[in-house]
């Protein structure tokens, strides 16, 4: 079994899907400026490697629960078509075509919730989605998923992980071929020191 794992935000997308969603909700006057500011503080913590992921998840779940259900379906359609899908990196589909043409299984592994990942996964033809996992938990979630096939990261024939973030170091270290995609500054340093492959999906 050969598997290419792919991060979503700032990897397959040129932006963070959650930040795009927050900005959209604010533009529709469905949330407050304070809500956006709170979310941005979490994003700062993410960039600095000190994110309390469970607190972020709790915040996002409560925020979504506060939104009027009768507005959500139409809002999600507009968001997906006008904002989320256009944020797919220009070369993402080309990369996925290359991977799939080699008969490699594809899976998005992302801290983002499933409802924001699915439209991107469907458009790019990605086989599987593992959502709402962060840091070391990405490794645990991948191992649990592979167990369904009688496999583990250790006994895959080949494995790749494409990511932009130093927060994904645990899974990057667990695969055969870690690939830094438009990496953040910390991941640039790590990738350079370890001679990991670096690519851009933006140009």
pLDDT number for residue 70: 67
Q: How does pLDDT run across 109-163, given as a tens digit for each residue?
A: 999 999 899 999 999 999 999 999 999 999 999 999 999 999 999 999 999 999 9
pTM > 0.75: yes or no? yes
Domain ranges in the chain are 2-14+88-199, 17-85
pLDDT number for residue 68: 64
Radius of gyration of the chain from its Cα atoms, rounded to whole angstroms = 17
SS3 per-residue string spanning 118-156: HHHHHHHCCCEEECCCCCHHHHHHHHHHHHCCCCCHHHC
Question: Which class would CATH give 2-14+88-199?
Answer: alpha beta
SS3 per-residue string spanning 52-120: CHHHHHHHHHHHHHCCCHHHHHHHHHHHHHHHHHHHECCCHHHHHHHHHHCCCEEEEECCCCHHHHHHH
- For the cut 90, the answer to whether the pLDDT of residue 203 exceeds it is no
Kind and range of the H or E element at 33? helix 33-47
Q: How does pLDDT run across 42-92, given as a tens digit for each residue?
A: 989 888 888 888 898 888 888 888 876 667 778 889 999 999 999 999 999
pLDDT number for residue 29: 86
Average pLDDT over residues 180-201: 97
């Amino acid at each position: 079994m050969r598997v290419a794992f792919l991060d979503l935000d700032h990897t397959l997308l040129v932006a963070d899907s959650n930040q795009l969603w927050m900005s959209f909700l604010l533009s529709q006057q469905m949330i407050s400026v304070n809500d956006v500011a709170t979310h941005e503080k979490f994003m700062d913590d993410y960039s600095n490697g000190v994110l309390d992921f469970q607190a972020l998840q709790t915040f996002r779940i409560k925020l979504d629960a506060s939104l009027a259900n009768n507005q959500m379906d139409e809002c999600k359609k507009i968001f997906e078509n006008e904002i989320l899908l256009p944020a797919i990196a220009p070369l993402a589909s080309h990369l996925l075509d290359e991977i799939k043409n080699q008969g490699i299984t594809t899976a998005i592994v992302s801290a983002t919730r499933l409802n924001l990942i699915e439209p991107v996964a469907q458009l790019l033809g990605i086989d599987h989605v593992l959502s709402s996992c962060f840091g070391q938990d990405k490794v645990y979630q991948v191992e649990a998923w592979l167990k369904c096939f009688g496999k583990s990261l250790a006994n895959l024939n080949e494995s790749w992980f494409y990511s932009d973030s130093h927060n994904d170091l645990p899974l990057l270290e667990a695969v055969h071929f870690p690939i830094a995609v438009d990496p953040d500054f910390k991941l640039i340093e790590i990738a350079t020191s370890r001679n990991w492959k670096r690519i851009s999906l933006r140009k």
